[in-house]
């Protein structure tokens, strides 16, 4: 199994893995109107590296750009250029030095210096030439980007998307004059959309932790097929050491940077922002990967951080609740149960704890009782049905109300919970007539779960 390299490519200004990534994030139509070289010229995108390829590289590749390549045997080899044009990576063992990081970032690798000898700022786009065998125009250069730079571009576009949609309406000339006036004012004040790429509390802060995530996700992809949890954890720890981060640094980066970015995008999604909606699931995945990496460093769990980064009682924050970013049902089910169970206190007064003790009991049961998660979900479905508000759905209720269905489901899940509780204590043999009422009586005798 081969993984994509950590640096995505724009070949000849219009093709490559970074272009495919932008299209996957929903920027197809945007790229038809705004070319990548133009975006780079405006500083809306900043390549990490730019490599000028020798013309002989393409002359040796007789059937460029097709693969398998037909190579001219009289031409010299271009191993480093081959890797930089299209690099695959698979981890075969953990014996190599820096085995956990892509070869592009190993100083002894033949691509390392070639990749870093030019920068976008100092290296101009080379002149095009015509391939003598294929008779096609080639611009012999490649720009390299981290995957997160696509997210940053989306935020630059959002910042620049500050004008109303211009319709062919009777006042179209007035609106056009307004657009020109605002644009001129921005130029006078030297306000540029690209400023957010370096601003603190924006991409000036977000870039570094997402670069770490880029390395981690590449490492994990390169391990696919091994299915070796020990190797994954070993590499994750060594990668963190190599990047100069530990569990505290990564935890702070997730909470105060990645969740801050998530809050910005969630707010945009609420306004149906077309730029963020399509890309949002990919940012969610990256945050989940960062959390997975953190678990390996400190041994804690997803449930721990869903609880820790739940700010619902603190009012509006700059960073998002983790559950809003990763809406796992098991946590939302638990929150619903804890929210509504006090309404039933009259029926179990003195039998159940309250506050933090009740939450701890629910947490413990989610771990120890296999069916308890299904019970919590049934409880949530029932209360969502009872509290359904048609006015929030357009004012018309198209449902066929069947409240007893939810009560029946809750009863079935309750019976399963009791069965699991009795089975774990080897008490099922004490019951001659296995049914819900019998389970309740036996549990009442034992008083173990009351």
| pLDDT tens-digit series, residues 255-309 | 999 999 999 999 999 999 999 999 999 999 999 999 999 999 999 999 999 999 9
| pLDDT tens-digit series, residues 199-250 | 999 999 999 999 999 999 999 988 876 668 889 999 999 999 999 999 999 9
Q: Which two tokens stand for residue 250?
A: 């990564």
CA 197/CA 151 separation, integer angstroms: 11
What predicted TM-score, i.e. pTM, was given to this entire model? 0.88
- Report the DSSP beta bridge partners of residue 176: none
pLDDT at 153 over 80: yes
| H-only helix segments in 110-224 | 112-116, 149-160, 172-188, 203-223
| pLDDT tens-digit series, residues 333-370 | 999 999 999 998 888 877 788 889 999 999 999 999 99
Highest mean pLDDT among 85-94, 308-317, 335-344: 335-344
The residue ranges of every structural domain in the chain are 7-161, 206-325, 329-392+399-446
- pLDDT for 392 equals 63
Determine the angle formed by the axes of helices 355-368 and 329-340, rounding to 10 degrees. Answer: 140
| pLDDT tens-digit series, residues 57-86 | 998 898 888 888 788 777 777 888 888 988
- Report the DSSP beta bridge partners of residue 3: 89
Sign of the four-CA dihedral 296, 297, 300, 305 = negative
Q: Are 55 and 303 in contact (CB under 8 A)?
A: no
pLDDT at 92 over 90: no
| pLDDT tens-digit series, residues 398-418 | 777 777 888 899 999 999 999
**For residue 26, how far is the Cα from the chain centroid?**
15
**For residue 247, how far is the Cα from the chain centroid?**
19
Q: Are 287 and 258 in contact (CB under 8 A)?
A: yes
Cα angle for residues 394, 398, 402 (degrees, 5° grid): 130
| Radius of gyration in angstroms for the set of CA atoms belonging to the chain, rounded to a whole number | 29
Quote the percentage of the chain above a pLDDT of 70.
94
- Give the residue, 45 or 5, on which the prediction is more confident: 45
């Amino acid at each position: 199994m081969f993984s994509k390299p950590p640096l995505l490519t724009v070949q000849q200004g219009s093709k490559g893995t970074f272009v495919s990534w932008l299209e996957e994030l929903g920027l197809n139509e945007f790229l038809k109107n705004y070319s990548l070289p133009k975006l780079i010229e405006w500083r809306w995108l900043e390549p990490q590296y730019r490599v000028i390829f020798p013309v002989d590289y393409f002359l040796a590749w007789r059937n460029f750009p097709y693969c398998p390549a037909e190579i001219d045997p009289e031409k010299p080899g271009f191993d480093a250029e081959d890797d930089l044009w299209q690099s695959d990576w698979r981890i075969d063992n953990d014996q190599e030095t820096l085995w956990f990081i892509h070869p592009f970032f190993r100083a002894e690798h033949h691509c390392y210096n070639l990749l870093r000898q030019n920068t976008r700022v100092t290296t101009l786009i080379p002149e095009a030439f015509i391939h003598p065998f294929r008779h096609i125009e080639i611009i012999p250069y490649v720009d390299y980007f981290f995957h997160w730079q696509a997210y940053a571009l989306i935020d630059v576009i959002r910042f620049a998307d500050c004008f109303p949609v211009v319709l062919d309406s009777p006042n179209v000339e007035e609106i056009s004059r307004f657009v020109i006036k605002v644009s001129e004012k921005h130029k006078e004040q030297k306000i540029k959309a690209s400023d957010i790429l370096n601003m603190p509390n924006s991409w000036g802060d977000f870039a570094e932790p997402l670069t770490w995530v880029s390395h981690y996700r590449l490492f994990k992809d390169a391990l696919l097929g091994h299915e070796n949890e020990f190797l994954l954890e070993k590499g994750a720890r060594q990668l963190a050491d190599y990047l100069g981060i530990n569990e505290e640094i990564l935890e702070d980066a997730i909470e105060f940077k990645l969740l801050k970015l998530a809050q910005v995008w969630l707010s945009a999604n609420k306004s149906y922002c077309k730029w963020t909606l399509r890309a949002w699931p990919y940012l969610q995945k990256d945050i989940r990967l960062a959390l997975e990496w953190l678990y390996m460093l400190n041994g804690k769990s997803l449930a721990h951080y869903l609880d820790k980064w739940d700010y619902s009682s603190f009012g509006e924050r700059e960073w998002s609740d983790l559950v809003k970013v990763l809406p796992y049902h098991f946590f939302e089910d638990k929150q619903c149960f804890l929210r509504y169970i006090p309404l039933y206190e009259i029926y179990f007064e003195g039998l159940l704890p309250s506050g933090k003790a009740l939450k701890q009991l629910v947490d413990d049961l989610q771990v120890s009782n296999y069916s308890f998660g299904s019970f919590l979900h049934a409880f949530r479905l029932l209360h969502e049905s009872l509290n359904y508000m048609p006015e929030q759905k357009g004012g018309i209720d198209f449902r066929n109300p069947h409240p007893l269905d939810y009560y029946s489901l809750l009863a079935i899940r309750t019976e399963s919970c009791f069965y699991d509780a009795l089975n774990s204590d080897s008490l099922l043999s004490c019951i001659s007539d296995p049914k819900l009422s019998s389970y309740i009586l036996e549990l009442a005798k034992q008083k173990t779960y009351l």
